[in-house]
Structure 1
Amino acid sequence: MGILVDRKVRESVVEVRRVGEKLMTIKLVVGESTLNVVSAYASHAGLAKEIKRRFWEGLDEIVRQVLPAERLFIGRDFNGRIGSTASGYGEVHGGFGFGERNGGVTSLMDFAKAFGLVTANSSFPKRDEHLVTFQNAVAKTQIDYLLLKRCDRGL
């Protein structure tokens, strides 16, 4: 788990924090903007509910500490599939995902909805090969997402 920072903006980093072993956040001040970048690795379906609960509580804690005027970017592996359609999550899902939604993604969608976030990589059309974030010999899927505040969708 880590976040790469380009040399050109390294001096802009004002805070680095880990929350458990599956969450990391950095805060940068670039010009007039404060950016919060979060790297997240959600626990997969086979793990205990307690581990999953701690992940979502940690992410909740991070997001609540972001001030309204600050920008927020949450990226990485959420181990769930949002599917190709919004289906009840129009304020979160832009309608351009991949494949079928699975039950494991409900936490992600509900979390995004609660905090006014959108899945940026479902907000505009792309070819399937640009949507797929995991592939093996049997299947292709999209499990990596970029979440940001709804008001920042146009960035």
Structure 2
Amino acid sequence: MVENCTVNIFSAYAPQIGCSDEEKDHFWSDLVEEMEKVPADERCLVGGDLKGCVGQNNHVISHIHGGYGYDERNAEGERIVDFAVSKQQEHLVTYKSGGRSSQIDYLMYKRKDLREVKDCKVIPGDHVSVQHRLVVMDLVMEIEQIRKKKMQGPKGLNGLS
């Protein structure tokens, strides 16, 4: 635990390049399964020898890649990228049923107050129902400004009689 925050660290050692695709698939599915056990309010870090090269930054994976890659992406690097992207895509799916996935549940907020939205995400699991997933939004509201507006009353009146 670090400053009241639990951090789960996975030290992973992927199968060698010469191993079968079945062994590699098994490794990645086991890693996904273990990460899914981590509660949503805890941090998760994966590190280790994943046996792949994701290559230099490109616009397709810029949202998961810090831009400090080296060389060209290889087949094993593609598995690493697929793992990272699939985890992010999984956090966009709000409805799953019959082998189909979609994003049909939303939270909306007025554009003028959009700066108050700090994060919006889907919590994988069956918190709402078997098919629907919980959608949460973190807001930081400026209460002081709201109170001042209420105290001033309608335009043109300053509360004095």
Query: TM tier, shorter chain?
Result: 0.5 to 0.7
**Greater RCO (Cα-Cα under 8 Å, separation 6 or more):** 1
Is the contact made by 2:15 and 2:51 (CA closer than 8 Å) also made in structure 1?
Answer: yes
Deviations 1:20-70 (A, max 9, x none): xxxxxxxxx334111101010111221112211210111011111112211
| Aligned residue runs from structure 1 range 92-131, under 5 A | 92-116=64-88
Mark the runs of 5 or more structure 1 residues left unpaired by the alignment: 1-28, 118-150
TM-score after normalising by structure 2: 0.51
Provide the C-alpha distance between the structure 2 equivalents of 1:32 and 1:116, rounded to a whole number of angstroms: 25
Q: What is the aligned-residue RMSD (CA, Å)?
A: 2.0
Identify which of 25, 45, 56 aligns with 1:84.
Answer: 56
Is the contact made by 2:11 and 2:47 (CA closer than 8 Å) also made in structure 1?
Answer: yes
Corresponding letter in the other structure for 1:47? C
Is the contact made by 1:39 and 1:74 (CA closer than 8 Å) also made in structure 2?
Answer: yes
- Aligned partner of 2:105 in structure 1 is none
1:63 partner SS? helix
1:88 partner SS? helix
CA shift for structure 1 position 74: 0.6
Identify which of 40, 45, 50 aligns with 2:17.
Answer: 45
CA shift for structure 1 position 87: 4.6
- Aligned partner of 1:69 in structure 2 is 41
Provide the C-alpha distance between the structure 2 equivalents of 1:49 and 1:73, rounded to a whole number of angstroms: 25
Identify which of 36, 45, 51 aligns with 2:8.
Answer: 36
Identity of aligned residues (%): 34
Corresponding letter in the other structure for 2:81? M
- Aligned partner of 1:123 in structure 2 is none
1:33 partner SS? coil
Deviations 1:80-135 (A, max 9, x none): 10112235211111222111111221111111112239xxxxxxxxxxxxxxxxxx
State which structure, 1 or 2, has the greater radius of gyration over its C-alpha atoms.
2
Provide the C-alpha distance between the structure 2 equivalents of 1:70 and 1:55, rounded to a whole number of angstroms: 23
Corresponding letter in the other structure for 2:23? I
Runs (4 or more) in structure 1 with deviation over 4 Å come to none
1:47 partner SS? coil
